[in-house]
Amino acid sequence: MDDRQDDFDRGLRNRRAVLGDAWVDRSLGNATAFNADFVSLITRYAWHDIWGRPGLDHRTRRLLVLGMTIAQGRWEEYELHLRAAVEGGVPLDEIKETLMQAVIYCGVPAANTAFKLAGEVLAKLGITPAPQPLTPAQRVARHHTFSAPQLHVLRQGQGRPVVLSHALGLDVQMWDRLAAALAGDCEVLRYDHRGHGESAVPPGPYTMDELVEDAARLVREWGRGPVVWIGLSMGGMVGQGLAARHPELVQSLVVANSTSYYPDAARGLWAQRIATVEAQGLAGIADGVMGRYFTEAFRAAHPEVEAWARGRLLRTDAAGYVACCHAVSQVDWREALPRITCPTLVIAGAQDVGAPVAMSEAIAQAVPGARLEIIDGASHISVLEAPEAFERLVRDFLAAH
Ligand SMILES: O=C(O)CC1=CCC(=O)O1
């Protein structure tokens, strides 16, 4: 086999990987005596020489192609690559950001067409993004704390101040649905923990005390305290510490899928997790984490939610994640819980293996007057697995306190 044939075969493999077999088979089947040389040339030149270069991964090249075809107004190529990117698993968030970038580098009319065509492509693929009407409750203001380490903050709605604090390995978007629902009559502030999302990643390891002091300065900077604190897992650990250490900042507390303490065996598992991430990155733990986040039944019924959570986990800074694992693994609020004086709701997922029901029972027993609610069928990220049940529990609690 000559070199040109080798390059053609390698190029064809890349082309199939990026555009899909169906498209490539159609293109090869439609080749004629007139255009066959051209198809051969682009297969070798574009799909081997350029797409085959190791310097950028295919995902980055796909996004670049979207930007470039928008800039040139080559809309048939744009639609082709957009469809292929979505089918190839590029997260919609990243495609959206590429189109947003085009607004300033290609101009509003080009981005306008890009968004319109993207909507059509998504509709043909059967993907309907959730409605997000630009009502005052849905309008989200985005900023960072003034004080360092800077924390990324989203704020929406008007009314009673509520803070949402996310789980390890996720970010503010975990709360999209609940934030929008509460923003009708609350001012909802959510933030990325240090080491997560778009917040700063100072060198680790972190301590739970540092995460709690981040929360305290966030509430003080906001100036709306005392707040309703709703935290899930790591966010719930921060909430326990905040309510115990800074009672003046917390009016009432919801602690979901969390714990006040890990026994030695679990701390050993955290040490293993830290070692795995240090050796292999977050990809090394992603399957295991998804298995703890969601039940098998939920993963089968909602692969898109799992894909979203996996994407968030993999985008988390590995050093930030490890630094937070140190804080989480050493959490110990057992002596502090009896000092919490605010109304407290503890939510557990009946199937949660990351924070089993017994851990929530221990919190509810130690916090004076706390109430425990268990969501049937839910595992660790109960706000995503059982959003209606989670919201109902929060709304009933807000109405009562
Ligand atoms: O990552 C997990 O397995 C579960 C978890 C522990 C703390 C947190 O926020 O999530």
Residue 229 is given by DSSP the state E
Q: Is 282 in the pocket of ligand 1 (CB under 6 A)?
A: no
Q: Which atom of ligand 1 is nearest to the CA of 236?
A: 9
Question: In this predicted structure, what is the pLDDT of residue 1?
Answer: 52
- For the Cβ of 328 lying below 6 angstroms from any atom of ligand 1, the answer is yes
Q: What's the pLDDT at 135? A: 76
Q: Which helix (H) or strand (E) holds 312?
A: helix 303-315
Burial class from Cβ neighbours inside 10 Å (0-12, 13-18, 19+) for residue 358 reads exposed
Quote the ligand 1 centre to 287 CA distance (angstroms).
Answer: 13
Is the C-beta atom of 233 inside 6 A of ligand 1? yes
The answer as to CATH 3.20.20.150 being correct for domain 141-400 is no
Cα(280) to centroid(ligand 1), Å: 18
Which ligand 1 atom is nearest residue 168's CA? 9
Distance of CA 160 from the midpoint of ligand 1 (Å): 28
Decide if 255 contacts 344 (C-beta within 8 A). yes
| Whether residue 225 has its Cβ less than 6 Å from ligand 1 | no
Question: Does the Cβ of 234 fall within 6 Å of ligand 1?
Answer: yes
Domain 7-124 in CATH 1.20.1290.10? The answer is yes
* pTM for this predicted structure: 0.76
- CB of 380 within 6 A of ligand 1: the answer is yes
Q: Give me the interface pTM, i.e. the ipTM.
A: 0.86
Q: Which numbered atom of ligand 1 lies nearest the CA of 233?
A: 9
- In the sheet with 250-256, reading across from the earlier edge strand, the strands are 141-144, 152-156, 186-191, 160-165, 227-232, 250-256, 344-349, 371-375
Domain ranges of the chain: 7-124, 141-400
**pLDDT per position in the chain (401 positions), as tens?**
577 889 999 999 999 999 999 999 999 999 999 999 999 999 999 999 999 999 999 999 999 999 999 999 999 999 999 999 999 999 998 999 999 999 999 999 999 999 999 999 999 999 988 777 777 777 899 999 999 999 999 999 999 999 999 999 999 999 999 999 999 999 999 999 999 999 999 999 999 999 999 999 999 999 999 999 999 999 999 999 999 999 999 999 999 999 999 999 999 999 999 999 999 999 999 999 999 999 999 999 999 899 999 999 999 999 999 999 999 999 999 999 999 999 999 999 999 999 999 999 999 999 999 999 999 999 999 999 999 999 999 999 999 99
Please answer whether residues 11 and 44 qualify as being in contact, where contact means their C-beta atoms are separated by less than 8 angstroms: yes
Does residue 285's CB lie within 6 angstroms of at least one atom of ligand 1?
A: no
